Structure 1
Amino acid sequence: YMYRKFPEMPEGELTKLRAAVVCEGSLAGLSRKLGVGRNLFLGKGEESTGGRNRDSILADAFEAIIGAVCMDGGIEAASTYVMRFMEDQIAQTKTNFRNLDCKTHLQEIIQKISKVPVHYAIVDEKGPDHNKVFVAEVTHEGKVLGQGSGKSKKEAEQNAANAALEKMNA
């Protein structure tokens, strides 16, 4: 779909767009729009620790729904079902594309001025194991460029890169 819709986009950009559209957070968001969380059968542990709203569970549930539609109605039915949600998601993601992969964007900017790569480090962890918040810093040649937090190390690093980009007005 994206290849046909955006023929002018370079292959690498299409790959990044696809990855951003089908990532865990994106699929979890679609699952939330459908209200999937309230219909899940969860064990007591997952129920008590907020599993109904956990991105990993919601994304997996959305993928399972797609699989069920495919098994029941075939690939065309699954494609039609998915595209009901994905067309808007793709358009919205493409509009905000530069902000989605902040780490790559930051690295591209730094590589224009230096051969030394940026470095990410988790500098703090807060909260209980089932609801941890990570704090990351991105540095270049010993200088802190930005700091960010998130529910995963990856999200914290992206937010640190975003903070660095905002400082640089990039």
Structure 2
Amino acid sequence: MLERDTHLFLTELAGRAPSDELLWLEALTHGSTGQARDYQRLEFLGDRVLGLAIAQWLFGLDHADEGSLSQRLNALVSRTSCAEVARSIGLGAHIRLGKQARDDGGQDSDNILGDVMEALIGASFVTQGFDATAEMIRRLWADLVAGKAGKAKHPKSALQEWAAGNRRKIPEYRLIQRFGPDHAARFTVAVSIKGVGEAEATGNSMRDAETAAAEAFMQRFG
């Protein structure tokens, strides 16, 4: 079954608690774990769902010709873009990897992050249908589609790059506390880098708290 932090992460991602935990767990499982089922089948499905959702979105946004739309679509569904979105939500910490893959930096691999992001889209499609999944994609890809990507790094991406540039292990996020009623829950998260230190922050969601914690860490140690 899903660990508590991962359950909260997926609930935040999908907008509701995962209805089929084993399927979502499959989407997070890399082949290096030796498990009978890993993310590859869901990745195959998610790739197609992502392409359709983005194509539909772009079609409604402007009246560019086919060539321009195709060029933009290819950029938005690329492995790099999928990995960028994955990093922005802290997906790496929830991927199930074998020891060797983890030691080799699999949590921050563009290939693995991109594949798992697509697998999660596949799991969403199977459990929630296209409309809910397209809504999730629009939320996650909003900055990229608006052309904002690259103008200012997301705090979690900036911290990840800072750690790599300083030859440190990847940041680790940990839920400290969840409080308040379900409709107005608050989350306190700590982020730490081994050998450097730790910072905490609170937000209205796990994602907001992790982002604020990354900002606090960079202000203190960056």
TM-score class, shorter: 0.5 to 0.7
Match of 1:5 in 2: 61
Same amino acid, percent of matched pairs:
31
The answer to whether the 8 A contact 1:24-1:59 is kept is yes
Q: How does 1:81-160 map to 2 (within 5 A)?
A: 81-92=136-147
Post-superposition offset of 1:74: 0.6
The reply to whether residue 58 of structure 1 matches residue 58 of structure 2 is: no
Counterpart-to-counterpart distance in 2, 1:27 and 1:67: 13
Query: Structure 1 pair 45/58, CA: closer, same or farther in 2 (3 Å)?
Result: same
Counterpart-to-counterpart distance in 2, 1:93 and 1:17: 14
Per-residue deviation, residues 23-45 of structure 1 (Å, max 9, x unmatched): 00110010011111011110111
Counterpart-to-counterpart distance in 2, 1:34 and 1:93: 16
Match of 1:48 in 2: 103
Gaps of 5+ in 1: 97-170
Counterpart-to-counterpart distance in 1, 2:67 and 2:131: 27
Post-superposition offset of 1:95: 9.7
Per-residue deviation, residues 111-136 of structure 1 (Å, max 9, x unmatched): xxxxxxxxxxxxxxxxxxxxxxxxxx
Post-superposition offset of 1:90: 1.1
The answer to whether the 8 A contact 1:28-1:56 is kept is yes
Regions of 4+ moved over 6 Å: 93-96
The reply to whether residue 74 of structure 1 matches residue 129 of structure 2 is: yes
Counterpart-to-counterpart distance in 2, 1:37 and 1:85: 16
The answer to whether the 8 A contact 1:28-1:55 is kept is yes
Equivalent position amino acid for 1:5 in 2: L
Query: Structure 1 pair 50/41, CA: closer, same or farther in 2 (3 Å)?
Result: same
Tell me how many residue pairs correspond in the alignment: 95
Equivalent position amino acid for 2:104 in 1: T
The answer to whether the 8 A contact 2:92-2:108 is kept is yes
Match of 1:38 in 2: 93
TM-score (norm 1): 0.53
Gaps of 5+ in 2: 1-56, 152-222
Q: 1:28 aligns with which of 75, 83, 94?
A: 83
The answer to whether the 8 A contact 1:17-1:93 is kept is no
Bigger Rg, which one: 1
TM-score (norm 2): 0.41
SS at match of 2:97: coil
The answer to whether the 8 A contact 2:83-2:110 is kept is yes
Post-superposition offset of 1:93: 6.7
Q: 1:18 aligns with which of 58, 61, 73?
A: 73
Query: Structure 1 pair 6/94, CA: closer, same or farther in 2 (3 Å)?
Result: farther
